Amino acid sequence: PNRLDLNDIHASRARELGVKLAIETDAHDVSHLDFMRFGVGMARRAWCEPQHIVNTLPLADVLTLLNVSR
């Protein structure tokens, strides 16, 4: 698919700088949900681990990142 995501080089640099990334499909149709594999592959090539990916974090950590108090 034609995608505008960060490539692995830019994602790796973002990771090095402490930027949290999100992996998503940008799905406009149920059949597009399989596109998640492209984001996961990019993250792997960029040496990202779960702590670098915002949508793998526990809710409490996401709220802390967003400075949301409960």
* Mean pLDDT of each 10-residue bin along the chain, 70 residues long: 81 96 90 91 96 95 85
CA angle centred on 67, ends 63 and 70, rounded to 5°: 60
Number of compact structural domains in the chain: 1
The CA radius of gyration of the chain, in Å to the nearest whole number, is 13
3 within some domain: no
The predicted pLDDT at position 27 comes to 86
pTM here? 0.80
The range of the structural domain enclosing residue 53 comes to 8-65
54 within some domain: yes
40 within some domain: yes
2 within some domain: no
Mark out the alpha helices in 4-70 (DSSP H runs): 8-16, 36-45, 59-65
42 within some domain: yes
The predicted pLDDT at position 70 comes to 61
44 within some domain: yes
